Structure formats: C-alpha cells, structure tokens
Amino acid sequence: MKKSIEKNILYGFLAIVLFAGCSSMKPLQYPEVIYNHRQPLVSVTYEYGEIDIDIPIVFPGLVPDALSFEVYAKGDSIHPLLTVKSQPTDLMRVFLPQGVLGIDNIDNFIKIIPHHPDFVSLKVPFLGIDFGTIVLDPIHIVQQPLDVVGIVTNRLTDDPLNKIDVSLFMKDKLLQKVYSNESGEYSLTLPGEFKDQEFLRIIAGEKLIFAPFRKDISFNKTKKLTVNIGLGPSQDLADLGNLYITNKSNVHFRDKPHIGGATLFLLPEGEPIAVEQVSKGLYYGTIEILVSSGKNVKMSGWLEREDTDLLFFENIFKEEDENEQTL
C-alpha cells in the first residue's frame, strides 16, 4: 500500500512538470551587457595599378602589312616585357603591370617592326611611370630612306673637287641639292616612297664651264646607290689633241665635213673636244660620251669652228665670285 502511494506521488510530480513545459525553467539574467573586447573583422581589397601606353601612328606613304610592338624596360634590350602584333592602326595601346618600367631615366623603349621589306624598325625611347597613362608623340612609319653617295673628281687629274653642286631631279622637279665637301664627297637622301619612281636623274656641276654631269638612276634593285661624278675632259681625251669647248647649246656634231653630213649629236654648251684636224672653218675632233653602263665612249666628228672656244683651266667656275679651282 505504501509503495502504491509513493508511485502515485512520483507520477503526479512528473505530470506537473510535463504540463508546465520548459517555460517554468528561466535562464539567468544579467543587469548589463557583457563585452568580450575582441577586435572586429576587417575586409581589405587590394587594387593593382596598370600602365597604359598610347602610341599614335601616322602613315604618310605606303602602309605595311602589319606592325609588331616590343616593349623593353630598365635598359634591357634583349628581353621584351611584351610583344604584340597588330594590323595597321592610327592608335596602338599596350598595357603593362605597375612597377615594371624605369622611372628615373629614359631607359625604356618601344621597338616598332613594320612587316614590309621597304621599311626599317624604329626605336622609341620614353620615361616610365609606376602606373597610369603614357601618351607618346605621334610616330611616323615611313619607308627606308633612299641614299645616293659618291665622290666628285677632276677627270683630268683625278683630284677631288670641293663645293660642286650635286642635284637630284624627278623629270624637271628639283628634289634635293647638296655640295661636295673638301674630300669631294656628297650624299643625297630621298624618302622611301620614291623607290619606284621613274625619271630620276643626277645633275652636277651646273656652275662650271663644262657641260654638267648627267646620269639617270633607279632604286628598283637597291636602296643605296654609289654614283661617282667625273667633271671635265679626261687625260685620254687631252692626249688626242688641243682641247676646245663648245660655246653654245645644240652644236651640230656631224659625221662628214660637208653639208650633207649626218648630225650624230647636238652638243650642249661646255662640251670638251680634242681637236685633231682643221679644215675650212671646221674642226675634226673627238668627244667623250657617258653611256648607261657608266663608261665613257669616244666618238669623232666635225663641227663649226665658230661654235667652239679654246679651253682654259685657270678657273672652272662660270662666275668670278665663286671659289677658284684649277683642273
């Protein structure tokens, strides 16, 4: 009986607890907020700077098939930081990470390589920055220049001649004029777009008493020509007879002395002639002709005496105020 009563009491207590639920169990309450003094989390974003190089391009003449750009930095001319190949454009942009360029000295450069046999590579130096934009000056992509070099000499003595005018013409248009130096050397330079032009001619010695030197040239096979210029009569011509010179233009040089003789050439003013015979107001003599191969060929014929003057060598310049030079 006693055990039965104890069981009933236990069951009753459990029933009360289950009926009341967890709401009868209250958590501890604190009068103030408790801080643990821990540092809050901080989110950090890293931004990497970039170098933008703007390269304006100008094509004044022929446009190459493509362009390659190589960027070199800090004096290294062997290992490029970047190599880019592009179609021809008026503005090329290349991008580099920050900090790769030299910023204290102009020891960075861009090598521009045109993809065409008539062009040469360019090196464009520039001062670097850590990051940001670099805008270069406009770069002209032009064909390789055309050069004519040579020596101006006295054909009688082979001595060099100083201050002789050397001109380059296209038809009747003067392209460039220079003067020989003390060693007789001269140099002419033309833009590459004249490479395929026809009717190019060198004329030298226009201020001399002799007929000017004339020679047609062409750059079809090479971009650099050597044209040596000989002025005046040669020693071989002088050995044939007394030297005379034509005193006007379009002097008839005939194969026979009589009127029926055929005109071989119309001689320019200043043409040297080695006179070998004299006959009734006529001279029979020999001239030298520069042929296309560059050699001088001798030809003999007749001309009027009144069309010639005896050649004197005291001063080969036409104008008295020019520097004197003696053959």
Give the CATH number, domain containing residue 293.
Answer: 2.30.30.40
Of 79, 112, 140, the last residue of a domain is 140
Relative to beta strand 146-154, strand 139-140 is unpaired
Residue 9 lies in a domain: no
- pLDDT, mean of residues 2-31: 54
Give yes or no: residues 93 and 172 share one domain: no
Is the domain of 54 the same as that of 135?
yes
Same domain, 188 and 256: no
Give a yes or no: residue 262 inside a domain: yes
- Domain co-membership, 154 together with 178: yes
Q: Count of domains in the chain? A: 3
Give the mean model confidence (pLDDT) for residues 50-71: 93
User: Looking at the predicted structure, is the pLDDT value of residue 326 above 50?
Assistant: no
* 266 and 187 inside one domain: no
Decide which of 212, 230, 248 is a domain's last residue.
230
- What are the distances in angstroms from CA 35 to CA 39, 42, 93, 145, 212? 11, 19, 56, 82, 107
- Decide which of 140, 171, 193 is a domain's last residue: 140
Q: Is residue 241 part of a domain?
A: yes
Q: Which phi and psi angles does 196 have, rounded to 5°? A: -100, 10
d(Cα 57, Cα 88) in Å, to the nearest integer? 8
CATH number at residue 54: 2.60.40.10
33 pLDDT more than 70: no
241 shares a domain with 195: no
Q: What is the CA radius of gyration of the chain?
A: 46
Burial 230-257 (b: 16+ CB within 10 A, else e): bbbbbeebbebbebbbbeeeebbbbeeb
Residue 65 in contact with residue 116, Cβ under 8 Å?
A: yes
Domain assignment present for 284: yes
pLDDT, tens only, 120-164: 899 999 999 999 999 999 999 988 899 999 999 999 889 999 999
State the burial class of residue 112 (Cβ atoms within 10 Å of its Cβ: 0-12, 13-18, 19+): buried
DSSP 253: E
Instruction: Give the dihedral of Cα atoms 156, 158, 159, 161; nearest 10 deg.
Output: 80
If asked whether residues 239 and 218 sit together in one domain, one would say: no
Assigned domain for 318 exists: no
Domain of residue 218 covers: 146-230
Residue 16 lies in a domain: no
pLDDT for 311 equals 87
Report the chain's mean pLDDT, rounded to a whole number: 85
User: Any idea what the CATH number is for the domain that residue 156 is in?
Assistant: 2.60.40.1120
- The number of angstroms, rounded, from the C-alpha of 85 to the middle of its chain's C-alpha atoms is 21
- DSSP class per residue in 22-75: GGGSPPP--SSPPP--PPPP--------EEEEEEEEE-SSPPPS-EEEEEE-TT
